[in-house]
Amino acid sequence: MRISFKQNRPKLRSLNIQKKSILLLALLLLIILGVLKMGVFSVREIIVLESGCLSREKITSSLNAVGKNIFLIGQKETTDLLQKERCLKSLEIKKVYPQTLKILAEARKPLVRLSKITHNNVLDLSFSEASLSSRSALIDWSVPESQDSEFEVMDSSGIIFSKISDFSLPILFTDSDFETQKNLDKNLGEFLDKIINFLKLAQNDESIRSLESDFSTQGLKLKQLSSSLIVYTSPKVLLSLNLDQDRQVASLQLILQKAKIDQKMIESVDLRFEKPLVIYRPK
């Protein structure tokens, strides 16, 4: 039985197409390898637009990206640098092909200095038999002191990231072992941020501020013991880290406004209970 050339033509055409495809792929691969070997896509320049808490030279050397293929620069470099330099809050790497990286770094903002409480005289009566006044009366309101000249600092996320000697920053006295930890509770950082921002607003709020009040945040002292937080303003304020943050701040604002209207001077406010306990100064 004879098979004509015309019958074999489709098979030959398909074979030729396959050969051409293989040759094209091989040629493309050779071109890619040649381009890579020539370093066309190797990083030659790093432009630091914002350096955050680091110098431009420090960021450039820490990234160690010069000479590397720009396509291989990615999330790993960002993550590694953020873990190494804790003062950086965020880092963005923009690629400008074929050989340039642009860096945008954002520094963490210090919220409070940290100081370790060496002794704890606070009695926190949490058992149900104790009255609200009893629980509040046994709190140690004494103002803590620190002899440190340099302090660890924390941001509003609870991240401990640097040491400073700026005494104008609020200081948090805490029983937490922050010296061996890389961060404190995020809830604590967020609460401190809300309290400090509220105090800054209260300084100029005529509906709250009186001649006897003092809401200055410069060098403000705070004390955190377990789930309680004392703010040493005038009046002194005691808050709970376990209760709703916004509700406590709102309650404090209403209490201060009412005292201003009633022309009463407040000694302390305890917001750890459903019904806040307010102690007034004698007239």
> Residue 160: inside a domain, yes or no?
yes
**137 and 67 co-located in one domain:** no
β-sheet bridge partners, residue 214: 234
Q: Is the pLDDT reported for residue 263 higher than 80? A: yes
CB 149 within 8 A of CB 119: no
* Average pLDDT for 2-18: 61
pLDDT at 196: 97
> Residue 85: inside a domain, yes or no?
yes
**142 and 276 co-located in one domain:** yes
Q: Is the pLDDT reported for residue 125 higher than 50? A: no
pLDDT at 129: 46
**127 and 103 co-located in one domain:** no
First to last CA, the chain: 125
**133 and 215 co-located in one domain:** yes
Structure tokens at 255: 């209490």
**97 and 160 co-located in one domain:** no
> Residue 131: inside a domain, yes or no?
yes
pLDDT at 122: 45
Asked, as a colleague might, if the bond just before 282 is cis with ω within 30 of 0, I would say no
Quote the percentage of the chain above a pLDDT of 90: 58
Which amino acid belongs to residue 20? K
pLDDT at 175: 87
CA 35 to chain centre: 42
CB 231 within 8 A of CB 172: no
**178 and 91 co-located in one domain:** no
* Average pLDDT for 79-88: 92
pLDDT at 37: 61
Taking the C-alpha atoms of residue 20 and residue 41, their distance in angstroms, rounded to an integer, is 28
Domain C-terminal end among 92, 107, 122? 107
Domain C-terminal end among 107, 122, 149? 107
User: What domain range is 203 assigned to?
Assistant: 112-280
Q: Is the pLDDT reported for residue 30 higher than 90? A: no
DSSP line for 73-105 = -SHHHHHHHHHH-TTEEEEEEEEETTTEEEEEE
> Residue 192: inside a domain, yes or no?
yes
> Residue 172: inside a domain, yes or no?
yes
Question: Tens digits of per-residue pLDDT, 173-196?
Answer: 998 888 777 889 899 999 999 999
Sheet of 100-107, strand order: 45-51, 100-107, 88-96
Q: Is the pLDDT reported for residue 100 higher than 90? A: yes
**123 and 70 co-located in one domain:** no
**Of residues 34 and 160, which shows the higher confidence score?**
160
**Of residues 125 and 67, which shows the higher confidence score?**
67
- Domain tally, the chain: 2
Which amino acid belongs to residue 109? K
Short-list 275, 268, 282, 274, CA closest to 139: 268
* Average pLDDT for 127-137: 54
Mean pLDDT of the chain: 85
**82 and 151 co-located in one domain:** no
Quote the percentage of the chain above a pLDDT of 70: 83
**57 and 185 co-located in one domain:** no
Domain C-terminal end among 85, 107, 129? 107
Q: Is the pTM of this model over 0.85?
A: no
Dihedral over alpha carbons 143, 144, 146, 150 (to 10 degrees): -90
* Angle, in degrees to the nearest 10, between helices 186-202 and 245-262: 20
* Average pLDDT for 247-260: 95
pLDDT band with cut points at 50, 70 and 90 for residue 15: low
Taking the C-alpha atoms of residue 240 and residue 187, their distance in angstroms, rounded to an integer, is 11
> Residue 128: inside a domain, yes or no?
yes
> Residue 226: inside a domain, yes or no?
yes
pLDDT at 140: 78
CATH classification at residue 98 = 3.10.20.310
**171 and 233 co-located in one domain:** yes
> Residue 27: inside a domain, yes or no?
no
CATH classification at residue 227 = 3.40.50
**256 and 125 co-located in one domain:** yes
**62 and 146 co-located in one domain:** no
